[in-house]
Chains A and B, each alone.
Chain A
Amino acid sequence: MAGPSLMDSFFQRSLDDLIKGIRLCLPGGEAAFIAKSVDEIRREIKSTDSQTKATALQKLTYLHSLHWVDMSWAAFPAVELSSSSVHSHKRLALLSASLSFNPTTDVILLLTHQLRKDFSSSNPHDVSLALSTLSSISTLDLSRDLTPELFILLNSSKNFVKKKAIAAILRVFEQYPEAVRVCFKRIVENLESSDMGVLSAAVGLFCELTVREPRSYLPLAPEFYKILLDSRNNWVLIKVLKIFAKLAPLEPRLAKRIVEPICEHLRRTGSKSLAFECVNTIVTSLSEHEPAVKLAIMKIQEFLLENDPNLKYLGLQALAVVAAKHSWAVLENKEVVIKSLDDVDVNIKLESLQLVMAMVSEDNLAEICKVLISYALKSEPEFCNEILGSILSTCSRNFYEVIVDFDWYVSLLGEMSRIPHCQKGDDIETQLIDIGMRVKDVRLELVHVARGLLIDPALLGNPFIHNVLSAAAWLSGEYVEFSRNLLELMESLLQPRTCLLPSPIRAVYIQSAFKVLTFGVYSFLSTGDDASYPSELTDFVLKEDFQESSETVTSAPISGADLSNGLNPRSSHPSAGNGEDPVIAHEQTSSASSKKQQLTQKSVMDLVNLVEVNLGPLAGSHEVEIQERASNILGMIGMIKPRIHSSMDESEGDRIKRELRASGMMKLMFDAFSEELGPVSVSAQERVPIPEGLVLKESLSDIEAICDHIKLPISSSFSLVRSHSLNNATTIHEHPSKEEYEPSSESTSLLAEHRKRHGIYYLSSENKVMISDDYPPALELKDQAIDEAEDLVKLTKQSLDLRKKRNQAKPRPVVVKLDDGEGAHIVVKKPQLKDDLISGAVREVLLGNEAASSSSNKAIKKREKNELNIDRPESNITMTSTVASEPGNASSRHKLRISGKEKKRSSSGKEKKEHDHKHNQKSDRIHAKHKSRQRADGTLNVAAQSPVIPDFLL
């Protein structure tokens, strides 16, 4: 590429030409045009003519900022042009630098000299340009090298330069905290400036700094307080209020002083932004001051009633902050809040949802949930899920502390998963299982809910609730003893549409089928008068059966309507009618007619056949989780089938031997499954001591790569642990049998209908048949059809009333919690190191005392030395004095020079402000450095300093 000729310069496209060209491009041709232009620019930018170069750079900057063209290659021309004597070229060059440079741009260092020159330029516009540029591209090197010039500018006679210097210095502090030491005092002086721009910049700077680390700025409270009283500029007041919002919580006496002026501003001001800031400050930081809070809430009410959606949104937000401490404020405004659930604006809806959840208590939970669910049904999917999510998180908060009636909650979970837009399957899954493990008394209802979910073929087509189904399957397998009808359960676990499930969940289904089968067969076998059984176990199981059968007897005919062979070994038991005395009943059974036993036998055979037929094809599945489980079950069936047959055939020969083997194995299986699963602490694994000599990581490191893609079928939130023995007889007594077949008989008939329609797919040996996914949703939830927000308000009117009497139908069941505060994972957020350095330096300057050492140097050194000094933290303190004087480069020389100057200046009469600081600021730094050793940590220092604060507060 040759350099640009003279002709190029004359016929160079201007920026206008370029923009017009882009706008004229046909769709799709833009990229080509831009690429061509960039080629041109590459040529032009090498021109020796600064005008040509500037135009090229301008065009490139345009392309970069609006069309994302890479311009890192043009960094050098920008630096070149920045030294132009022509102001417009300089301006263009610095604009392009500020838009395109980043900390990795290497030529940034070449800009240092130019910026320094501009800082001392006689043209204030050059100075301001340089300041703007520095504020956008500051790096550590730039900041360090330019601090002395900035320090001079902080005293500029031109206010518009001064304010820019103050604002830009924030970026310098961030990069180079040492600068604080040099410049901080001058900035503080500007808090008393009469120029609004300068004052505003200084307050803005402190606002930013205070937000990061409030404590260091407490000593400046008197200055801020003065501004709060005197200033009439809303921009400045808003910033000062923000500062006080951070400082007030640290110093109660300060809060007392500022509360009245703030209320005064709130009453006086006509500006919404200032009023909102006052409200915000009061609700976040002054919530102890009752009258102020009342005033703020009055203002919030005004906001809520205005037609402006902005004010409404902010009002709701402020209310949400108040709600934590003053719930009456929400109740007072509940009408607006609930009406806002119906707002056109999603953001407002979300805020009001949050507030509604904030009103939840034990007494009104059910009603609020009812309202919200009915509302979820008619909202768009996104908001519907927001509602569901907040119900789930509110109800599960702190181990379901708001929930008294778990039966209700469990059925609510079931209902929620049937909502068409529900995408909260994961959360519902976790909670169902969690409740199953933690709350013993609710298992009966859980199994009932699970049955309703499993039995509905339509649900299998909705991938969002597959996780819920997984939980349902697991629950009905794990707590199978609560199941009324094993055959029906088994059919739903093995129904053909389960092939729509992803394989990990299908594996859970199969595993549950295994548990059901084990339970069924074992119950059957143990009813036989088999002498090889340990008698107490037999008795135990029997007892259980009897007790339950006496309850189920009424419902058995109903359930048997369409699945007449549907069996529960218990309900078909002969003694069902007179199960008061289990022992007697048992004797009766033993001598029972073979007819009854044959029925049981037939149904067990049905059960076994059902499993065998359905799982047979799966033994060849490619999914290892499925294949292995299916094979296991089939293997077991192979063993027990002859045993069941044999009791039918009465072929005496090897019957006993087989019986022994099969029954023994069944007992083994049954025992394995009857071990109860309980919640496990997250830290349980950590507490297991690692045996000596066990190398855990090395040999397994290769496996990681292999196992990477395999997902565990069961969520990791639970695992096997033995806690209680099977003991559910009492549980059942506590739950009087309800008319529980009514609600779900609908789904039962649906399953039957489905079977009628797709009969060929049921129980067929070919399970691989694809079933269309578009089965109509079987269960339309009865829509409450609450369309008007008015109705919602009415509905919740009573429910939100706190005074409503609590109707405790039954006591809250026990919720198992682990004693080590599980789940209480507090993420300790580490404050940013840079901020530490800044505030460390600030503290030194403000509280400046004999310990005004170079603590940030210390901190930097600490960071470097951390690896070495971890075991002896003391040591790095003693090192600091050497460290501080070590960097013998230009910058430290600068620093010393400046500090000397400052010292002179500050001693020459500008002590007006220092007089209320207890410790005088003009300490000799070099001297102080040697004294600094005893100062260990910044926070310690502040703790020691805090009693001083009252002195400042005058």
Chain B
Amino acid sequence: MIHFVLLISRQGKVRLTKWYSPYSQKERTKVIRELSGTILSRGPKLCNFVEWRGYKVVYKRYASLYFCMCIDQDDNELEVLEIIHHFVEILDRYFGSVCELDLIFNFHKAYYILDEILIAGELQESSKKTVARLIAAQDSLVEQAKEQAGTISNMIAQATK
């Protein structure tokens, strides 16, 4: 299973963290510090796997972002690379050629998308189309709610509460 997902920028800034195994806050910062040190220092054209404390970390760089996933010893690295690619493609489709800023300003959406792809550290949906459809449906729910909240009567009701 996947123990955690990290998105780290080339400068070492964390852009997204999702933990599927219990780690305390202290451990989390330590993990990130250790791993960003190891991974960012690796040159291009090397293999995408790092052995780390008995686990394996699979990472791949897309533009300025490193996508890292930590897996068990007997998990399949190539499969995880495909999951990472899957995730990136879905982000790309959703944001329209995604860039780091998209993920910064829409961090919650990145989480929502990730939650449709992975659950409990396992891949749950391998179809890009399905994920896109689900996210779109959820977004439309939000839009409806916004429209409702945006009506003048609603604002008056809020103000005079």
Interface residues of B in 63-78 (CB under 8 A from A): 72, 74, 76-78
Q: Nearest CB to that of B82 among chain A residues?
A: A273
Q: Nearest CB to that of B104 among chain A residues?
A: A19
Contact A211 B124 (CB under 8 A): no
Contact B138 A347 (CB under 8 A): no
Partner of B78, one of A168, A204, A276: A276
Answer yes or no: B25 CB below 8 A from chain A CBs: yes
Answer yes or no: B126 CB below 8 A from chain A CBs: yes
A-chain residues with CB within 8 Å of residue B105 when the two chains form the complex? 15-16, 19
Interface residues of A in 255-275 (CB under 8 A from B): 272-273
Partner of B76, one of A125, A170, A273: A273
Contact A310 B76 (CB under 8 A): no
Answer yes or no: A707 CB below 8 A from chain B CBs: no
Range of interface residues on chain B? Answer: 35 or more
Known contacts A6-B159, A310-B81; is-contact A51 B49 (Cβ 8 Å): no
Report the Cα distance A57→B15, complex, angstroms.
Answer: 18
Answer yes or no: A136 CB below 8 A from chain B CBs: yes
- Binary contact track B81-109/A, C-beta < 8 Å → 1, others 0: 11000000000000000000000110110
Contact A87 B145 (CB under 8 A): yes
Interface residues of A in 341-370 (CB under 8 A from B): 344-345, 347-348
Answer yes or no: A305 CB below 8 A from chain B CBs: no
Interface residues of B in 89-142 (CB under 8 A from A): 104-105, 107-108, 111-112, 115, 119-120, 122-127, 130, 134, 137-138, 141-142
Partner of A88, one of B14, B122, B145, B158: B145
Answer yes or no: A408 CB below 8 A from chain B CBs: no
Q: Nearest CB to that of B123 among chain A residues?
A: A235
Shortest Cβ gap from A912 to chain B (Å): 27
Report the Cα distance A136→B20, complex, angstroms.
Answer: 6
Report the Cα distance A19→B104, complex, angstroms.
Answer: 8
Q: Nearest CB to that of A350 among chain B residues?
A: B51
Contact A312 B47 (CB under 8 A): yes
Report the Cα distance A211→B112, complex, angstroms.
Answer: 29
A-chain residues with CB within 8 Å of residue B43 when the two chains form the complex? 344
Answer yes or no: A215 CB below 8 A from chain B CBs: no
Q: Nearest CB to that of A307 among chain B residues?
A: B45
Shortest Cβ gap from B154 to chain A (Å): 10
A-chain residues with CB within 8 Å of residue B126 when the two chains form the complex? 196-197, 200, 233, 235
Shortest Cβ gap from A356 to chain B (Å): 18
Report the Cα distance A48→B47, complex, angstroms.
Answer: 53
Answer yes or no: B22 CB below 8 A from chain A CBs: yes
Answer yes or no: B53 CB below 8 A from chain A CBs: no
Stretch in contact with the other chain, from A59-67, A75-83, A571-579: A59-67
Answer yes or no: B40 CB below 8 A from chain A CBs: no
B-chain residues with CB within 8 Å of residue A208 when the two chains form the complex? 1, 122
Contact A91 B138 (CB under 8 A): yes
Interface residues of B in 137-160 (CB under 8 A from A): 137-138, 141-142, 145-146, 149, 158-159
Contact A160 B16 (CB under 8 A): no
Q: Nearest CB to that of A100 among chain B residues?
A: B25
What DSSP secondary structure best describes chain A's contact surface?
helix
Answer yes or no: A171 CB below 8 A from chain B CBs: yes
Report the Cα distance A48→B157, complex, angstroms.
Answer: 13
Shortest Cβ gap from B160 to chain A (Å): 10
Interface residues of A in 120-140 (CB under 8 A from B): 123, 125, 128, 131-132, 135-136
Partner of B47, one of A88, A89, A313: A313
Report the Cα distance A131→B116, complex, angstroms.
Answer: 11
Answer yes or no: A167 CB below 8 A from chain B CBs: yes
Shortest Cβ gap from A614 to chain B (Å): 47
Known contacts A170-B120, A310-B78; is-contact A61 B108 (Cβ 8 Å): yes
Contact B120 A66 (CB under 8 A): no
Shortest Cβ gap from B139 to chain A (Å): 9
Contact B141 A88 (CB under 8 A): yes
Interface residues of B in 21-77 (CB under 8 A from A): 22, 24-25, 28-29, 43, 45-51, 72, 74, 76-77
Known contacts A51-B149, A86-B149, A88-B146; is-contact A102 B24 (Cβ 8 Å): yes
Report the Cα distance A200→B28, complex, angstroms.
Answer: 30
Most buried by B among A9, A168, A204: A204
Answer yes or no: A412 CB below 8 A from chain B CBs: no
A-chain residues with CB within 8 Å of residue B81 when the two chains form the complex? 273, 310
Report the Cα distance A563→B127, complex, angstroms.
Answer: 83
Interface residues of A in 695-724 (CB under 8 A from B): none
B-chain residues with CB within 8 Å of residue A168 when the two chains form the complex? 119-120
A-chain residues with CB within 8 Å of residue B137 when the two chains form the complex? 125
Most buried by A among B20, B79, B81, B82: B79
Shortest Cβ gap from A842 to chain B (Å): 18
Report the Cα distance A168→B120, complex, angstroms.
Answer: 6
Contact B45 A309 (CB under 8 A): yes
Contact B47 A348 (CB under 8 A): yes
Contact B78 A314 (CB under 8 A): yes
Q: Nearest CB to that of B26 among chain A residues?
A: A68
Contact B17 A66 (CB under 8 A): yes
B-chain residues with CB within 8 Å of residue A201 when the two chains form the complex? 122, 124
Answer yes or no: A448 CB below 8 A from chain B CBs: no
Shortest Cβ gap from A411 to chain B (Å): 33
Partner of A95, one of B14, B46, B111: B111
Contact B47 A345 (CB under 8 A): yes
Report the Cα distance A314→B81, complex, angstroms.
Answer: 13
Report the Cα distance A198→B142, complex, angstroms.
Answer: 27
Answer yes or no: A795 CB below 8 A from chain B CBs: no
Report the Cα distance A348→B48, complex, angstroms.
Answer: 11
Contact B141 A164 (CB under 8 A): no
Contact B16 A65 (CB under 8 A): yes
Known contacts A51-B149, A312-B47, A314-B78; is-contact A135 B130 (Cβ 8 Å): no
B-chain residues with CB within 8 Å of residue A131 when the two chains form the complex? 119
A-chain residues with CB within 8 Å of residue B115 when the two chains form the complex? 132
Most buried by A among B47, B82, B127: B47
Contact A65 B107 (CB under 8 A): yes
Report the Cα distance A314→B75, complex, angstroms.
Answer: 12
B-chain residues with CB within 8 Å of residue A62 when the two chains form the complex? 107-108
Beyond A167-B124, A348-B46: 20 further Cβ-contacts under 8 Å?
A: A15-B105, A48-B161, A62-B107, A65-B107, A99-B111, A102-B24, A132-B119, A160-B130, A168-B120, A197-B126, A197-B130, A200-B126, A205-B122, A211-B72, A238-B79, A272-B78, A280-B74, A309-B45, A310-B77, A314-B49
- A-B pairs with lowest CB-CB distance, top 10: A273-B78, A309-B47, A88-B142, A313-B47, A345-B46, A135-B120, A204-B122, A87-B141, A167-B119, A273-B79
Q: 28 A-B Cβ contacts within 8 A?
A: A15-B108, A51-B149, A61-B108, A62-B107, A65-B16, A68-B29, A86-B149, A87-B145, A88-B146, A99-B111, A125-B138, A136-B20, A136-B120, A163-B124, A163-B125, A167-B119, A168-B119, A171-B120, A197-B124, A197-B125, A197-B127, A208-B1, A235-B79, A235-B126, A276-B76, A310-B47, A314-B77, A347-B46
Chain A residues within 8 Å of B, Cβ to Cβ: 6, 9, 15-16, 19, 48-49, 51, 58, 61-62, 65-66, 68, 70, 86-89, 91-92, 95, 99, 102-103, 123, 125, 128, 131-132, 135-136, 160, 163-164, 167-168, 170-171, 196-197, 200-201, 204-205, 208, 211, 233, 235, 238, 242, 245, 272-273, 276-277, 280, 309-310, 312-314, 344-345, 347-348
